[in-house]
Structure 1
Amino acid sequence: MAAVSLMSMDEAPSDNIVYDGIVDDSPTRPTGLYVRVRNMVKHFSTAKGLFRAVDGVDVDIEPSSIVALLGPSGSGKTTLLRLVAGLETPTAGHIYFDDTDATNLSVQDRQIGFVFQSYALFNHKTVAENIKFGLEVRKLNVDHDKRAAELLALVQLAGLGDRYPKQLSGGQRQRVALARALASNPRLLLLDEPFGALDAVVRKQLRTSLKEIVRSVGVTTIIVTHDQEEAFDLADKVVIFNRGLVEQQGTPTEIIKKPRTPFIMKFVGETNVVPASSVLAKRMRFITPKSKVMFRPHDIKLFKTLDPEEKRTTVAATVADKANLGWVIKYTLRFDDDVECELQLTRQQDEREYNLVVGSRVYVYVSRRAMLGFDPSDVDSTPVV
């Protein structure tokens, strides 16, 4: 097996050690669980009334896959993770691990590894002692020192077993937390905002390495995150929550290219929103009973002059602003009815094709197929109480 890298730029490289698998009397590579959540409901009583945290959710998580639970605050993603972990008792519904009904199994009987944003390491224990903690609690019949050393090699922290958590960087501590979670050969790995406390560069490096490690070990993995880039980069499947329900689930490509609801389109990626009565919507002949229309900035086709041979109907607009955002140029276009939208281009695109001047007139076309009608209530993510 090839070595996997879990290095951060703020950390010194360790010795190059090839990880050859966790050795145990049991199978060396645990088979990931097939997790099925059926009609899952979790309600909480609050001073304001009944909070429907999870309100009838079905999710399938394939063995050895990585699934990201994504959604706004209060949408139900973390509650579902806690239900799968056994940290919450369902109001209704079932959870199946392979063919076993695990709904009422204790946390200890679920063979789960946890990684939290706060690392949850014992500061009075060394790195190696932290990794061995789960083995000691579960009294697993393996060489604890050897297992800790193998896991430190796996997460590229070989030789740091005698250090204490406070002597490590944030990225290193999160790798220790991952090693501890994997120590007892879990069949299911749960991560709750694992990189939220880290800076952007370290976060990106760690998620790349996490993907490699999870695949090498073969453990089914569920990650809760609010970071869309993280979810789409890591996961085989993304499940997007809103108001206790699953709005859409599928591969990252499916969700990005084929949003099924106005909420998904608004939540995933950037959008322009204009009134359904706007000149743009009318000239594009987009007819909807809804009050608003949305479309992606990259769906705008812009012309600097009117081509008499161009058969598409366009709408005149004025370049109201040009924002230089480094590698991205963002133009604000104002139509004659004072409705505005944004056009985003790479710097290279702008220099090659546009280089628009503020105040100049341009002509805009947006395909009706790229437009979606909606009412504000369709994209509301306020938790239901």
Structure 2
Amino acid sequence: MASLLAQTTSRLGARPAAQAGPVAQMAPMASRVQPAMPSALLPLHARATTTSVACRAASIDKPVVYTPRDSSQQSSNGAGEVSMSISSMDEVGPSYEGIITDAPTRPTGLYVRVRNMVKHFSTAKGLFRAVDGVDVDIEPSSIVALLGPSGSGKTTLLRLIAGLEQPTGGNIYFDDTDATNLSVQDRQIGFVFQSYALFNHKTVAENIKFGLEVRKLNIDHDKRVAELLALVQLTGLGDRYPRQLSGGQRQRVALARALASNPRLLLLDEPFGALDAVVRKQLRTGLREIVRSVGVTTIIVTHDQEEAFDLADKVVVFNRGLVEQQGSPTEIIKRPRTPFIMKFVGETNVVPATSLLAKRMRFNTSKTSVMFRPHDIKLFKTVPPESGEGALTTVGANVADKANLGWVVKYTLRFDDDVECELQLSRDQDEREYNLVVGSRVFVHVPHRTMMGFNASDVDSTPIV
């Protein structure tokens, strides 16, 4: 995907390969791209200095001052900046020379801020608090995943940001503009849905052109379509109909259509949910590279944790209309702040707070249960010393079961009080270090810092009505 994308960008007028570098190096662009210009292209005499990554084809509403990155890129008149006004744009008219993929130096995407967002629905059972006071910051040109169980509020928040739902309370800001009451059309948003939402009676090219025609963008539609088809690896398929494509290809058509009108914000609602695991993984890689190259701020709603952690710069985890935790994938995985996060993200072992294991590890809690992750278990075939340097307190257990799950081996360990937990090892690690047999005696240590006490209500995700 990266090599084809690099070839595509070269054909679309990017810098020579020696200057631009491979597209794969554009992944960390989020911290280096420049703010979006008003939605219009620079005049022809200034375009050589632009680092915009997508066409700007709508009319501008205020004068723009653009400063080149260095003096060698200044216009022939020697001025340190290139200026244009409304009148000059009216004379020249919006022009278009293709997608410009020169790596930007600062974020180009939209900065989205959600403040105290509330959305309630009246139901036969009572008031449903779908979103109940949410604050989220979405940095320009970043990819943010909204993750959570069904009914947690993630899709409702996406629809509120899109303008498809009106909030009960709170505000949404696009950069410094209050966008709470803007119409869907005025938000300049691109959508990609799980169902693709393609027009079956239109060809692939006609589907991609649809947004351009609706917004009446005065650019070369055929050229824009050809470039986007190349960008999503569908060159030569513009004359086909959606029914003649695979599910993965149709999803890429939907992405191309969403990007066609140069949105300020890209919203994806379970975009890969209808595809098999192999195709999903391939499309994730392609989507990440395309979004990075275009620089558009992207929000994706998903229930797939692997998808969220693979794609996103930031993950926002919802439960019962509230944000339980938000941060980088590493922060969410390694430093869960609540029992719900620890239970929801990744696998856990749960034992009673009064169990031998909890007592032996000296984990005291007022909660009824204790959880910890299977990979946090330290397993010994013989009793380790309990005093001196490196001493560890352990509790004995028997190997109750062994399951070979491909590249993973899962052991079920039963303690003397009949409480059970699971240990997961890679096949290589098991063959190299353990290779235990059912019925053998082992000794278990779980680091105190990796355990968390909780009550059943702390991890309940049933929507409240």
Larger radius of gyration: 2
- Whether the 8 Å contact between 1:329 and 1:346 is mirrored in structure 2 is yes
Specify which of 92, 103, 119 is matched with residue 196 of structure 2: 119
Q: Corresponding residue for 1:159?
A: 236
| Structure 2 partner of 1:357 | 437
Give the number of the structure whose residues are more often strand, by fraction.
Answer: 1
Q: Does 1:108 align with 2:188?
A: no
The residue that corresponds to 1:234 in the other structure is: 311
Matched residue, 2:420: 340
1:222 pairs, out of 282, 299, 313, with 299
Helix, strand or coil at the partner of 1:59: strand
Q: 1:298 to 1:26 in 2, by over 3 A?
A: farther
Distance 2:274 2:425 in 1: 31
> Aligned ranges for residues 79-228 of structure 1 at < 5 Å?
79-228=156-305
> Which stretch of structure 1 is more off in the superposition, 28-37 or 311-320?
28-37
Aligned to 1:327: 407
State the one-letter code of the partner of 1:255: I
**Distance in 2 between the 1:292 and 1:234 partners?**
33
Q: Take 1:208 and 1:19, find their aligned partners in 2: how far apart are those partners? A: 21
Residue 101 (structure 1) shift = 0.2
Aligned residue for 1:252?
A: 329
Quickly say closer, same or farther: Cα 1:204–1:381, change in 2 above 3 A.
same
**1:180, 1:17 → 2: CA distance?**
21
Question: Which structure has the higher relative contact order (CA within 8 Å, separation 6+)?
Answer: 1
1:316 equivalenced with 2:396 (yes/no): yes
Q: 1:3-44, CA deviations, whole angstroms, 9 ceiling, x for partnerless residues?
A: 5559xxxxxxx9997444644547966931000000000000
Distance 1:152 1:240, change over 3 A: same
Alignment of 1:221-300 (within 5 A): 221-300=298-377
Q: Percent identity?
A: 85
RMSD of aligned Cα (Å): 1.8
Equivalent residue number for residue 41 of structure 1: 118
Q: In structure 1, the residue corresponding to 2:171 is in which secondary structure?
A: strand
Specify which of 364, 367, 381 is matched with residue 304 of structure 1.
Answer: 381
1:351 and 1:216 map into 2 onto residues whose CA distance is 43
Q: Distance in 1 between matches of 2:142 and 2:320?
A: 25
Distance 1:257 1:183, change over 3 A: same
Residue aligned with 2:382, SS:
coil
Shift of 1:306: 1.4
Moved over 2 A (4+): 2-6, 14-31, 307-311
Q: Does 1:32 align with 2:112?
A: no
> What letter is aligned with 1:106?
S
Shift of 1:45: 0.3
The one-letter code of the counterpart of 1:377 is S
Asked if residue 51 in structure 1 is aligned to residue 128 in structure 2, the reply is: yes
Q: TM-score, normalised by structure 2?
A: 0.79
TM-score, with normalisation over the residues of structure 1? 0.95
Partners of 1:3 and 1:148 lie apart in 2 by 20
SS of 2:201 mapped into structure 1 = coil
- Counterpart of 1:100, as a letter, is T
Moved more, 22-31 or 193-202: 22-31
* Paired letter, 2:207: N
State how far apart, in whole Å, the 1-side matches of 2:180 and 2:4 are. 35
Task: Go from structure 1 to structure 2 and tell me whether the alpha carbon gap of 1:353 and 1:218 turns closer, same or farther (over 3 Å shift).
Answer: same
Distance in 1 separating the partners of 2:386 and 2:303: 47
* Residue identity in the other structure for 1:329: V
Separation of aligned partners in 2, 1:340 and 1:53: 37
* Per-residue deviation, residues 321-371 of structure 1 (Å, max 9, x unmatched): 000001000000000000000000000000000000100110000111110
Q: C-alpha separation between the residues in 2 aligned to 1:38 and 1:214?
A: 26
Distance 2:304 2:189 in 1: 23
How far, CA to CA, are the matches of 2:147 and 2:219 in structure 1? 37
In the other structure, the counterpart of 1:9 is none
Structure 1 position 313, deviation (Å): 1.4
Aligned residue in 2 for 1:11: none
Which stretches in structure 2 are left out of the alignment for 5+ residues? 14-52, 57-93, 101-106
Distance 1:23 1:293 in 2: 54
Q: Is the 8 A contact 2:386 2:393 kept in 1?
A: no
Over residues 129-176 of structure 1, what are the superposed CA-to-partner deviations in whole Å (9 max), with x where a residue is unaligned? 000001101111111111111110111111110000000000000000
SS of structure 1 residue aligned to 2:279: helix
What CA distance in whole angstroms lies between the structure 2 residues aligned with 1:305 and 1:121?
Answer: 62
Instruction: Say if 1:15 and 1:92 are closer, same or farther in 2 by CA, change over 3 A.
Output: closer
CA distance in 2, matches of 1:26, 1:358: 73
Distance 1:357 1:121 in 2: 55
Q: Deviations over 1:299-335 (max 9, x none)?
A: 1001001134663211000000000001000000000
